[in-house]
Amino acid sequence: MNEIGRATAGGAPGAGEMTRLRAVSRQMEGVFVQQLYKAMRDTVPEGGFASGGQGEEMFTGLLDQHLSDATAASSSRGPGEALFRQMSAALRAKEAR
């Protein structure tokens, strides 16, 4: 998430701006997918053979984070790519001025 703050801090776009923009777009997609996983997991009733308590909650949270990062990194048509296309067009227009 640190890249998001740096990318929105302003300044003239440089040679690495597109690379940073792609990374930030993927991070945003990862956050979106992680929230989606969390919402889906919240619909599953708790219980079963054993209740894991806080340890299980921590594990599933970390698992969701890992899966969402992997999903965003391998996605070529997700919301992160759409965000990248829109923002890169805005960066190119800003550079042209």
Which tens digit of pLDDT belongs to each residue from 28-69?
999 999 999 999 988 988 776 667 788 888 888 899 999 999
Q: How far is CA 22 from CA 18, 38, 68, 89, in A?
A: 6, 24, 16, 12
Q: What's the pTM value of the predicted model, to 2 decimals?
A: 0.71
